[in-house]
Homo-oligomer: A and B are copies of this chain.
Amino acid sequence: MTRTIVESRTRTAIIGFDQPFCVIGERINPTGRKALAAQLEAGDFSTVEKDALEQVACGATMLDVNAGVVYNSNPDPNVTEPPLMRQMIELVQGLVDVPLCIDSSVPAALEAGLAAAAGRPLLNSVTGEEERLERVLPLVKKYNVPVVAISNDDSGISEDPDVRFAVAKKIVERAADFGIPAHDIVVDPLMMPVGAMATAGLQVFALVRRLREELGVNTTCGASNVSFGLPNRHGINAAFLPMAICAGMTSAIMNPVRPQEMEAVRAANLLMANDPHGAAWIRANKPAAAEGATPEGARAGRENRRRRRA
C-alpha cells in the first residue's frame, strides 16, 4: 500500500489510498496576490500568519508555502526567494504544527526551505524537464523528503494524457536511479480548465487511475484550476473533488477556507470508507455546528447511529 509520509516537528500525516484525502492549503502564496506581495516586500507577515491559522482551523492537513514574489526593489527571484522562503517557513511552523509543502520553481528557494523546515516536508516540485530533474532530485535524496512531480517536460504541457503519463513514469524512473522510492513521488497530472478543454476532467480521472494502478503513486493537483473562467466555480470544484477522489486522487492543493469544497471532501472521505464510523462527518455536521446543540445531543446522535448499525 502506497504511503507518503509527511511530518511537521511533532505531527505526521500520511497520504495514501486508505487515508482521508490530504488537503494542502494553497493560500500562502503571493503569486497573483499583489497586496500580499507588497506586504512581504515591506516585511509585513500578518496575512501569512492569518492564512496559516485560518487554513489549519478549517481543516487543512498540510500548508503549501510559496515565496514566489517579485519585489519592486529586486526583480531576481534567485536572490529574493531563498531568504523569504526560509523566513516564511520559520514563521509558519512556529505558528501551526502541520506538515509543510515547500513550493517554488527556484531550486535555491527549495533548498532554503528544506534547510529551514522541521520534520519531513513535501517538496513542490520537480518536473520532467532535464535541468529540473538533475537539480531537484539530488535535493530530494539528500533531505530524504517526498516530492511533487508535475507531468510536463522540456516539450511543455502535452494535451495528450498518454504523454503526461509517460512523463510521470520517466520522473518515477529517474527518481529510482537516485534511490528515491515511488511512494515518495506525488504526481500532479496537471488539471486544465474544463472551460478551455471539455475533456480535461475525463483525462485527469483516467490519468489518476492509471498512475495509481500502473505506477502505484499518490497524486495531487491544483484543484481550483478545473473551474477557471466559468461561473459558480465552487459548484464545479465541489463536484470535481469527489470525482477525483473516486478515481483515486489522494491529495489536492486547494483552498480549505471554502466550506462547499471542504464539505465535498469530507463526504468523499466517508463514501470511500476513509472516515471510520463516520466520526469526522458527524462531528462536522452535528447540530452544534448549526444551532449550538449540547454534547448530549451529539452523544444521542452517535447512540442512534449505533442502534441503526445493530
Contact = CB atoms under 8 A, between A and B. Distances in A.
A270 B238 contact: no
A38 interface: no
Nearest to A244: B246
Contact of A230 (B196, B202, B282): B282
Contacts of A238: 238-239, 264, 267
B271 A240 contact: yes
A224 to B, nearest CB: 13
Contacts of A282: 230-231
B308 A229 contact: yes
A194 B270 contact: yes
In the complex, the count of this chain's copies comes to 2
Contacts of A242: 239-240, 242-243, 246
A267 B205 contact: no
Contact of A202 (B236, B247, B272): B272
Contacts of A193: 308
Nearest to A301: B231
Interface string A203-215: 0010000000000
Contacts of A264: 235, 238-239
A267 to B, nearest CB: 3
A269 B100 CA distance: 35
Nearest to A237: B267
A229 B267 contact: no
Contacts of A231: 281-282, 285-287, 301
A278 interface: yes
Contact of A278 (B195, B240, B286): B195
A198 interface: yes
A235 B263 contact: yes
A267 B202 contact: no
A301 B273 CA distance: 40
Interface string A32-70: 000000000000000000000000000000000000000
A253 interface: no
A201 B245 CA distance: 12
B267 A239 contact: yes
Contacts of A272: 201-202
A199 interface: yes
A194 B235 contact: no
A275 B308 CA distance: 40
A245 B278 CA distance: 23
